[in-house]
Amino acid sequence: MLLPAALRDLDSTQRHTVLASFLGWTLDAFDYFLLTFVIVAVAHEFNVPKSEVTYGLFLTLAARPLGALIFGRLADRYGRRPVLMFDIVLFSILEVACAFAPTLGVLLGLRFLFGIAMGGEWGLGAALAMESIPAKSRGLVSGLLQSGYPCGFFLAALANWLLVDHIGWRGLFIVGALPALLVVYIRRKVPESPVWEGRRHEARQSVMVSMRGHWMRFVYLMLLMAAFNMFSHGSQDMYPTFVQENLHVEAGSGTAFMLTALLNIGALVGGLSFGAWSERIGRRRAMMIAALLAIPVIPLWMYGGSLLLLGLGAFLIQVMVQGAWGVVPTHLNELSPDSVRGTLPGFAYQMGNLLAAITATAQTWMAERRGGDFAFSMSIWIAGVAILLTLLLWLGPEARGVRFGRRGSDPA
């Protein structure tokens, strides 16, 4: 099998670790995105406006910082691997519970709890992978890990296309139990992070002590991740609703699935390409270029006029959005001290999610003010966020290639 040099340099154990971290984020995203495909169906069953169902997305995103903090601190104390396995089982159980929600209120409560579990996975998986591989492989592996998110979106679209007409929206949530099987693979094939093992016997410090001198870095990363999450969720969460409401394409149709598939293929191409490219031109520069290139693609993405052009727009917008995102796992881990790498990247990421959690509801509100025009609300949103993201990256630091697990290696 032909593999990029960055992956050929990994030994068998490192490849298993990367694969497990990739699959964890893929399946986590799969469970999250199932709700985005059934917003209309849930609204009809509970006889409520669609905007009320989108609070399920808001609550999931808002709960993720709590999960990142809880599971991140557990991972810094007890290791990445066991905490990751527990977290995967937990979010799978909560996903299945959503299938039996008797009211919208119960469903929203379960989505909040699901968000706590979802919030832990990204930081744990990214830290485990980044601490287990050579520095020169981080860029490509970063893009690969982040590509798990659009892969999860694709799997959710596939499940919706193939199954929703037969098992309904509740049945889709039962399918969400599948990620729990990943724990068996992790238990058999994935060892603990060598960086954490090297620090196992060091005295554990509180968050306040560990973060001394790094709080401004945390605030910056939180704001950066708010912009990143507005960028990603602003281009993805309401896209199925845009396809249904503005393009008048049925949710379970082959056309809807193909548009979503093109979107996610673009995300994979972008994440891998820009992630690898960041090893050459730098993390910030790669992300800035991707963000700015999203702006000229917006008219094709939302106003292409034909399914062919709309499909091309969906592909290209995600090349840029997830191209920028593909650099995030390595960028955040390189900017985080060894002592809080289980906590800081994930917590900053999810606090950014909290600030961005209103995205879907805000886009829906904007669209409803213009008679349900999601093309307008999504276009304005992505253009504005792309500019904001570029400015934040331009003003921020970079620690490409910093060595992990050695004294004096923590980024300044």
65 or 227: which leads in pLDDT: 227
Mean pLDDT of 166-173: 92
Residue type, 208: M
pLDDT of residue 58: 84
pLDDT of residue 409: 47
Instruction: Please name the residue ranges forming H helices in 101-253.
Output: 104-130, 138-146, 148-175, 182-189, 194-198, 207-210, 215-236, 239-245
pLDDT of residue 412: 45
Report whether 286 contacts 393 (CB < 8 A).
no
Triad 143, 144, 146: Cα angle to 5°:
65
Instruction: Give the lowest-confidence range in 234-248, 310-324, 371-385.
Output: 234-248
- Which has the closest alpha carbon to 117: 83, 148, 81, 150? 83
**In angstroms, rounded to a whole number, what is the distance separating the alpha carbons of residues 59 and 65?**
11
- Which has the closest alpha carbon to 68: 13, 7, 125, 20? 125
pLDDT at 46 over 80: yes
Determine the 3-state secondary structure of 365 from DSSP: helix
Report whether 314 contacts 266 (CB < 8 A).
yes
Residue 312 sits at φ, ψ, to 5 deg, of: -65, -40
0.85 surpassed by pTM: no
pLDDT at 20 over 70: yes
pLDDT at 299 over 50: yes
Q: Which residue has the tokens 């744990």?
A: 124
**In angstroms, rounded to a whole number, what is the distance separating the alpha carbons of residues 170 and 154?**
19
**What average pLDDT is seen over the chain?**
86
Paired tokens of 138: 């981080």
Cα-based distances in Å from 204 to 158, 199, 209, 399: 44, 9, 10, 25
pLDDT of residue 93: 93
- Which has the closest alpha carbon to 146: 256, 283, 41? 283
Cα-based distances in Å from 13 to 8, 17, 129, 188, 192: 12, 6, 11, 11, 10
pLDDT of residue 43: 92
- Which has the closest alpha carbon to 270: 383, 150, 385? 150
Report whether 81 contacts 183 (CB < 8 A).
no
Q: Which residue has the tokens 């994935």?
A: 190
pLDDT of residue 103: 94
Each residue's pLDDT tens digit, 307-346: 889 889 999 999 999 999 989 988 988 888 777 777 778 7
pLDDT at 105 over 90: yes
**In angstroms, rounded to a whole number, what is the distance separating the alpha carbons of residues 180 and 197?**
25
**In angstroms, rounded to a whole number, what is the distance separating the alpha carbons of residues 150 and 310?**
18
Cα-based distances in Å from 210 to 68, 117, 151, 163: 16, 24, 35, 48
Cβ partners under 8 Å of residue 223, min gap 6: 352, 355, 392
**In angstroms, rounded to a whole number, what is the distance separating the alpha carbons of residues 283 and 305?**
35
pLDDT at 407 over 70: no
pLDDT at 3 over 60: no
pLDDT of residue 209: 63
Mean pLDDT of 30-47: 90
Q: Supply the DSSP string of 72-127, one letter for each residue.
A: HHHHHHH-HHHHHHHHHHHHHHHHHHHTT-SSHHHHHHHHHHHHHHHHHHHHHHHH
Report whether 352 contacts 224 (CB < 8 A).
yes
**Within 10 A of 4 (CB to CB), how many other CB atoms are there?**
13
Q: The domain 11-195+213-395 is classified under which CATH number: 3.50.50.60, 3.30.230.10, 1.20.1250.20, 1.20.1600.10?
A: 1.20.1250.20
Paired tokens of 113: 């709890």
Cβ partners under 8 Å of residue 82, min gap 6: none
Report whether 139 contacts 275 (CB < 8 A).
yes
